[in-house]
A and B are shown apart, each in its own frame.
Chain A
Amino acid sequence: MLEQAYYNKADEIIAQHGRTQKALIPVIQDIQANYRYLPAELLSYVAKQLGINEAKAYSVATFYENFSFEAKGKYVIRVCDGTACHVRKSSLILDRLYKELGLSKEKHTTDDMMFTLETVSCLGACGLAPVLTVNDEVYPAMTPEKVSELMKELRGEKA
């Protein structure tokens, strides 16, 4: 069971979007923005409040890539693997991050809950390829070396 505060937050968000099925996605987006993940209990709660079948709500939430039932790390790093970034070797950036963080295609978040690593296809900053974002801040023209430096910086070990 989640603490009551979570449900209050959900109520607040629902109040902004209304109790209809078309509010489902905006509501869970806001919840996810708030907690940086979508607590499963809240999805069930929202479904009930909006009068949607739970199976349907789950179905919608699992369809879209952005929803995650797992808590994310403090820093969410998203590496672009869109066309422009790919042709400028974004895979090397990704490999370096996997190596630096000890993560893999299956494991997205470090055990200390510091970093979550995801890939996206195109952040719309293609002119600066290859790019990555850390909590929505864009880092342009990355190289594996710059990645290592960035990691040091984020870990608080100023290079």
Chain B
Amino acid sequence: MDYITIDTKRVPIEGENNILSLIRKAGIDLPTFCYHSELSIYGACRMCVVEDDRGRIFASCSEQPRPGMVIYTNTKKIQSYRRLIIELLLSSHCRDCTTCQKNGKCSLQELAYRVGVHAVRFLNNKKKIPLDMSSPSIVRDPNKCILCGDCVRTCDEIQGIGAIDFAFRGSDTQVMPAFNRALSETNCVGCGQCAVVCPTAAISVRTNVTEVWDAITDPAIRVVAQIAPAVRVAIGESFHVARGENSFGKLVAALRVMGFDEIYDTSFAADLTVMEESKELAERLEKSEKLPLFTSCCPGWVKYCENHYPEFTDNISTCRSPQGMFSPLIKDYFKEKDINENKKTIVVSIMPCTAKKGEILRPDNFTDGKQDTDYVITTQEVIRMIKQVGIQFEQLEEEAADMPFAVASGGGTIFGATGGVTEAVLRKLAKDKSYQNLKEISYIGVRGEETVKETTVTLGDREVKIAVVHGLAETGRLLERIKAGEVSYDFVEVMACRRGCIMGGGQPPFAGDRTKKGRMDGLYKADVMSNIRYPDENPVLNHMYQTNIKGKEHKLFHRNIVK
């Protein structure tokens, strides 16, 4: 085996194509701003520079390993260059850390501390640039941008959207939409993936924490929370809980302490979605029309389809997303009670997703012309609220959600990962509800990180061709192939975010490979632990179908699509 030597340690080369990966493998967390294993190599921050035994200095992210190389990551020169690079970055950066969204979670701040910048010898003479608050999902603060380009490459390479790019050049360079337009006027879908990779507060999640506190502290308001599946396996990361561990019970307890009145599990609504969507699939298969059926639970995808592939919008399921079904159901549920108690119910959904903040504002998601979900707060925001109160999250006793919406099948829970929706729909459609069949479905090829997964199942006398795709750039490529007639499907699950909602724009950022895997494993573990596995075996839901929602399915659970 070939080796290179890193700081006297011999490290085997096992297919890595850059030295930085080898350095990380050697257990050294070399500081970087612009390297992401899933993005193209950009080489702009120069933080990853190293020195070789001949005194040559180069960026390790963009250098191929050659057997026998001898590399030092921490020489005197390297130390001083890194310090100067950070000092230079800070010198034209708005350094209001104490009031900054990213305070305490900011790479720039952390690295400034780590490399030991003690003073900035240059004056910040940059003009202050106004913030872009036009998007319901994210906020752009160009004053905090260090031009690492991570957001630009994410939006372009992973999401295939290119809503933002560099403009101008040299020290005038900025990241912005075309003509510095407001983000809301671009084709941005609000997925928040740019915010996930942004090392600073230059792109951050648009927060609604203040509004939620206002509602909670208002006695005339009944504040109902619904907690999405993906939140439970990510929130613990910020509170010393093992990665991927299901913290649903602790979160429920925390929300109670915070003053939420009712706390429900969005997985219940996911079961509901499965019921509605499989009905729709069966109908379309029957009539052989508007196929493939595309899932509709991801608002990032829905908007992408509308912007880039309007010809496919009719193929999208008319179902609302689980959040979108749940809120009108909750409001319907409390309708009379509200009148009796002279209260107003508002729904706050706790989501991994920034695009959901936009979804609730879409008129096709309104019921009787009214917005159903009042606020979406992301996992990141709820973490902040917990910290604000000072709750010792990790020490909380687990609590159960409130009835009647506390019961959900494992099928609803796995919605948070790519392939989850499909698997849940397949469970619903399966005639054989045995444990054995459950296992078989799980091996059918819809789980895992591969960007396009394909499978075929037999339903009745028909072969149903299924594709599961995540990441919008990959989705675009798949749609092109469908358009070109190279492939054809009956059912396509699309998630805008790579790996699905567990990696949504509102989840805690900077998740490494192990965290990503942990979150995914966590959801499947939660599925295994649940008493009900088949969505159509949810007793509460089945009861409701017979009682309070009977006849209201269309009004409450489907989008009102105006032609």
**Residues of A near any B CB (own CB < 8 A):** 40, 44, 47, 53-59, 62-63
Contacts and interface: CB of A to CB of B under 8 A. Distances in A.
Q: Which of A40, A47, A54, A55 has the most CB of B within 10 A?
A: A55
Q: Which of A53, A54, A63 has the most CB of B within 10 A?
A: A53
Contact of A58 (B156, B165, B169): B165
B162 A62 contact: no
B350 interface: no
B179 A59 contact: no
A55 B177 CA distance: 5
Interface in B4-36: none
Contacts of B163: 53, 55
Given A40-B179, A44-B178, A56 B162 contact: yes
Contacts of B169: 62-63
A40 B156 CA distance: 22
B143 interface: no
Given A40-B179, A44-B178, A55 B165 contact: yes
Interface in B154-171: 156, 161-169
Given A55-B178, A63-B169, 19 more contacts: A40-B179, A44-B178, A53-B156, A53-B161, A53-B165, A54-B178, A54-B179, A54-B186, A55-B162, A55-B176, A55-B186, A56-B165, A57-B178, A58-B167, A59-B167, A62-B167, A62-B168, A63-B166, A63-B168
Contacts of B165: 53, 55-56, 58-59
Interface of B: 156, 161-169, 176-179, 186
Nearest to B174: A62
Nearest to B186: A55
Contacts of B179: 40, 44, 54, 58
Contacts of A58: 165, 167, 178-179
Q: Which of B167, B168, B177, B179 has the most CB of A within 10 A?
A: B179
A13 B198 CA distance: 39
A50 to B, nearest CB: 13
A150 B168 CA distance: 33
Nearest to A57: B178
Contact of A59 (B161, B166, B186): B166
Contacts of B168: 62-63
A52 to B, nearest CB: 9
Contacts of A44: 178-179
A139 to B, nearest CB: 29
A53 B162 contact: yes
B465 to A, nearest CB: 29
Contacts of B162: 53, 55-56
A59 to B, nearest CB: 4
B419 to A, nearest CB: 30
Nearest to B162: A53
Nearest to B170: A63
Nearest to B155: A55
A53 B179 CA distance: 12
A54 B169 CA distance: 17
Contacts of A62: 167-169
Contacts of B186: 54-55
Contacts of B176: 55
14 contacts: A40-B179, A44-B178, A44-B179, A54-B178, A54-B179, A55-B163, A55-B164, A55-B176, A55-B178, A56-B156, A56-B162, A56-B165, A57-B178, A59-B167
